[in-house]
């Protein structure tokens, strides 16, 4: 619809350094993350393998589905001006194409030495962009669910229409593209869309916000990427407009759901729809840093603190409720119906990453690690062609094999190829494709190792070779291949769970290091070797007594991994609920998981039709005592549908209690 001429715009005021391939680049921050090309992960490493599957399978998988369901054709139909009410997909389906474009951009940016595949992916990417561009209106508006014949008017449903949300993802894709490749059609299309949004929603114009935050964080980064303050100003406006109840009331949905109940700078905790809350917080963090706005940053820190302490799962998962996909109240952290949407995991990484860049606080990076290993890595199946939408910590009934068609959103206990609301697959894809950016950072003359993975890091004048089978064990061997000429620093993250880590470096004897940052500072020379041993072994994890849902249970963690008990590993006929862990015996590492001592109770029997409540303390009789195997949570249900639990009841007092008597 838009003429090609319109899309060739003036170059940005500040030239883009193409090498600056980072998802987040707050120019006023004391630290800066690695560019996606700065970190090359070994193909055999935990994350390297996942990146490879993502590039080889997931990207194509997402494209196939969106083509099959007509989500892409929506753009063609708008371009041809032929539209009817029977549009395919939800009103936010455009965003999935944009998230895929973002993933493709990062993937192209991080790849090395695969020119043939690159050419193919580039061609696919460009063809997609052409179809998107063709649907753009002359004034920059881009959307296939509103504003064309047969569709509702533009911005006629700000609460649920997702128009700005969609265009936000377009801008994020353009950020990835401009930083990995430079200016092209996608960037031009995004710029026109951003200008349109500023014209439409700027100061003194339409006083609206979008029911689903995303445009905030997108405009902020797009503004930074193009050096255009106008976009950042518009992002600020959207952030500040929230919390004043300007969105129209919707039946059965609260202002909290839409993040329109309390202004960001006044809120005490993340609440309402988890993904909405986290995307908004990420955008607000961008604005706080850009504006040196300590009040806003403090508000975000306060909300993060409360949310971590009282509304976050041991996996890093966020969102306790299926209803409204929302955060729960403080301490409302049920294991069995934990929603922990995969996208909330992605949103949490986005928020915490910005907070780390702003403050240098290690807690943000610890949470990112926890979330990456136990939420983001849990979602995709090993082959990258099926996904979890929700990530509960307890599945009582084994899921069934997913249907061949589109699956419902979040039920089931089985990874599904695609969903009616299919936000998670592309969110995983863009996160995995940009993952190198979160592995290391530079602060002054110091390179900071944030996540441990075998590979090579070229950053801050250093070239570091990392050898490690992390997280299978905790030994990380860092060889200096290249170093700055002057004295410089290498900073290591010692995670909070590492109780007795040891570091050795050529300049000094091995020493114990506390959880926190461990700094090594000197003149480095080629061949120097730093060895960090995080001494990973399985450990019992108990919950705060205020987390009612898991009282009397224990979880087992091993390094950054949360483990789980899966029915697959139990003897035939032993149900999950028969297992009680003996905490007097320490868990033992086994494979990539652990074994624990357990009592197997005799809990089954005929159904009696009596309520599960009685006047005597129930105590099942013990049928067996044996070890049971636990596996990493991220790979549950990889061996077929299973029941599963992270928090396992302890055997405390089992033998001394009277027999069950329920009425």
- Cα angle, residue 123 at apex, residues 119 and 125 outer, rounded to 5°: 115
Indicate the SS3 state at residue 76.
helix
DSSP assignment of 182-219 equals -S-HHHHHHHHHHHHHHHHHSTTS-----SS--HHHHH
CA–CA separation, 361 and 218 (whole Å)? 24
**Interaction of residue 403 with its own copies, rule CB under 8 A:** no
**Interaction of residue 499 with its own copies, rule CB under 8 A:** yes
What is the enclosing helix (H) or strand (E) of 464? strand 462-468
Contact 314, 646 (CB under 8 A): yes
Q: How far is the CB of 231 from its own copies (least distance, A)?
A: 31
- 338 vs 503, beta carbon nearer its own copies: 338
Q: How far is the CB of 575 from its own copies (least distance, A)?
A: 9
Q: How far is the CB of 328 from its own copies (least distance, A)?
A: 8
**Interaction of residue 636 with its own copies, rule CB under 8 A:** no
- 236 vs 265, beta carbon nearer its own copies: 265
Which position among 620, 630, 632, 634 is part of the footprint of its own copies (CB under 8 A)? 620
Report the site for its own copies in 525-554 (rule: CB under 8 A): 539-553
Site pattern 414..453 for its own copies (x: CB under 8 A): ------xx--------------------------------
Site pattern 231..260 for its own copies (x: CB under 8 A): --------------------xx-x------
- 302 vs 477, beta carbon nearer its own copies: 302
Report the site for its own copies in 300-339 (rule: CB under 8 A): 301-302, 304-306, 308-310, 312, 314, 321-323, 328-337
Contacts of 80 (CB under 8 A, 6+ apart): none
Burial group, residue 82, by CB count within 10 angstroms (0-12, 13-18, 19+) = exposed
**Interaction of residue 138 with its own copies, rule CB under 8 A:** no
Please choose, from the candidates 410, 430, 434, the residue with its C-alpha nearest in 3D space to the C-alpha of residue 422. Answer: 410
Question: For its own copies, which stretch binds (CB under 8 A), given 105-113, 207-215, 494-502, 590-598?
Answer: 494-502
Contacts of 62 (CB under 8 A, 6+ apart): 96, 100, 103, 425, 426, 429
Contacts of 631 (CB under 8 A, 6+ apart): 563, 564, 566, 569, 591, 592, 593
- 416 vs 437, beta carbon nearer its own copies: 416
Question: For its own copies, which stretch binds (CB under 8 A), given 31-39, 149-157, 459-467, 647-655?
Answer: 647-655
CA distances (Å), 506 to each of 69, 523, 533, in order?
Answer: 58, 11, 15
Contact 421, 645 (CB under 8 A): no
Question: For its own copies, which stretch binds (CB under 8 A), given 111-119, 173-181, 434-442, 652-660?
Answer: 652-660
Report the site for its own copies in 344-363 (rule: CB under 8 A): 363
Q: How many residues bind its own copies (CB under 8 A)?
A: 78
- 342 vs 553, beta carbon nearer its own copies: 553
CA–CA separation, 506 and 325 (whole Å)? 51
- 138 vs 309, beta carbon nearer its own copies: 309
CA–CA separation, 279 and 211 (whole Å)? 12
- 130 vs 332, beta carbon nearer its own copies: 332
Which position among 3, 84, 584, 610 is part of the footprint of its own copies (CB under 8 A)? 610
Which position among 619, 622, 623, 638 is part of the footprint of its own copies (CB under 8 A)? 619
- 208 vs 618, beta carbon nearer its own copies: 618
Report the site for its own copies in 556-585 (rule: CB under 8 A): 577
Which position among 67, 153, 397, 655 is part of the footprint of its own copies (CB under 8 A)? 397
Helix pair 274-291, 294-310: axis angle to 10 deg: 150
DSSP 571: P
CA–CA separation, 441 and 457 (whole Å)? 10
């Amino acid at each position: 619809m838009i003429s090609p001429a319109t899309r060739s715009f003036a170059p940005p005021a500040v030239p883009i350094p193409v090498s600056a391939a980072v998802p987040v680049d707050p120019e006023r921050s004391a630290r800066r993350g690695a560019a996606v090309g700065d970190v090359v992960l070994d193909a055999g490493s935990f994350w390297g393998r996942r990146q490879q599957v993502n590039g080889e399978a997931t990207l194509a998988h997402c494209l196939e589905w969106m083509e099959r369901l007509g989500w892409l054709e929506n753009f063609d139909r708008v371009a041809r001006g032929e539209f009817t009410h029977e549009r395919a997909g939800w009103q936010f389906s455009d965003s999935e194409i944009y998230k895929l474009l973002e993933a493709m951009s990062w993937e192209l940016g991080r790849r090395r030495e695969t020119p043939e595949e690159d050419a193919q992916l580039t061609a696919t990417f460009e063809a997609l962009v052409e179809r998107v561009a063709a649907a753009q209106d002359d004034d920059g508006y881009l959307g296939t669910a509103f504003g064309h014949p047969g569709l509702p008017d533009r911005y006629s449903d700000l609460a649920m229409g997702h128009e700005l949300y969609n265009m936000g993802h377009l801008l994020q894709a353009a950020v990835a593209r401009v930083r990995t490749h430079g200016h092209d059609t996608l960037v031009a299309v995004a710029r026109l869309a951003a200008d349109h949004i500023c014209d439409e929603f700027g100061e003194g114009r339409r006083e609206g916000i979008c029911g689903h935050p995303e445009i905030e964080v997108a405009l902020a980064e797009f503004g930074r990427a193009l050096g255009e303050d106008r976009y950042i100003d518009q992002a600020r406006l959207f952030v500040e407009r929230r919390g004043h109840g300007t969105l129209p009331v919707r039946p059965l949905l609260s202002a909290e759901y839409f993040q329109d109940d309390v202004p960001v700078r006044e809120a005490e905790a993340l609440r309402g729809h988890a993904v909405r809350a986290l995307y908004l917080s990420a955008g607000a963090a961008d604005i706080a840093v850009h504006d040196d706005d300590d009040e806003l940053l403090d508000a975000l820190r306060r909300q993060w603190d409360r949310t971590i302490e009282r509304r976050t799962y041991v996996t890093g998962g966020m969102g306790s409720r299926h209803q409204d996909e929302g955060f729960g109240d403080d301490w409302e952290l049920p294991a069995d119906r934990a929603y922990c949407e995969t996208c909330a995991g992605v949103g949490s990484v986005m928020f915490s990453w910005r907070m780390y860049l702003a403050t240098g606080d290690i807690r943000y990076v610890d949470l990112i690690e926890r979330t990456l290993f136990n939420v983001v890595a849990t979602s995709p199946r090993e082959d990258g062609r099926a996904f979890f939408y929700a990530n509960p910590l307890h599945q009582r009934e084994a899921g069934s094999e997913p249907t061949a068609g589109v699956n419902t959103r979040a039920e089931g206990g089985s990874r599904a190829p695609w969903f009616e609301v299919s936000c998670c697959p592309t969110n995983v894809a863009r996160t995995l494709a940009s993952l190198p950016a979160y592995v290391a950072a530079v602060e002054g003359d110091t390179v900071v190792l944030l996540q441990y993975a075998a590979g090579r890091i070229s950053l801050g004048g250093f070239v570091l070779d990392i050898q490690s089978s992390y997280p299978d064990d905790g030994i990380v061997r860092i060889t200096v291949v290249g170093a700055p000429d002057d004295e410089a620093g290498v900073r290591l993250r010692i995670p909070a769970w590492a109780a007795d880590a040891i570091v050795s470096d050529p300049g000094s004897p091995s020493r114990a290091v506390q959880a926190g940052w461990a700094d090594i500072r000197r003149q480095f020379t080629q061949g120097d070797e730093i060895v960090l041993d995080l001494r990973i072994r399985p450990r019992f994890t108990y919950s705060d007594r205020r987390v009612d849902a898991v009282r009397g249970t224990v979880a087992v963690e091993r390094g950054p991994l949360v483990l789980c008990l899966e029915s697959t590993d139990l003897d035939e006929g032993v149900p999950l609920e028969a297992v009680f862990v003996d905490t007097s015996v320490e868990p033992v590492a086994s494979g990539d998981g652990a074994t624990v001592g357990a009592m197997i109770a005799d809990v089954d029997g005929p159904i009696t039709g009596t309520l599960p409540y009685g006047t005597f303390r129930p105590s099942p009789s013990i049928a067996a005592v044996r070890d049971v195997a636990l596996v990493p949570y991220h790979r549950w249900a990889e061996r077929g549908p299973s029941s599963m639990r992270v928090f396992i009841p302890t055997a405390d007092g089992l033998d001394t209690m009277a027999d069950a008597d329920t009425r």
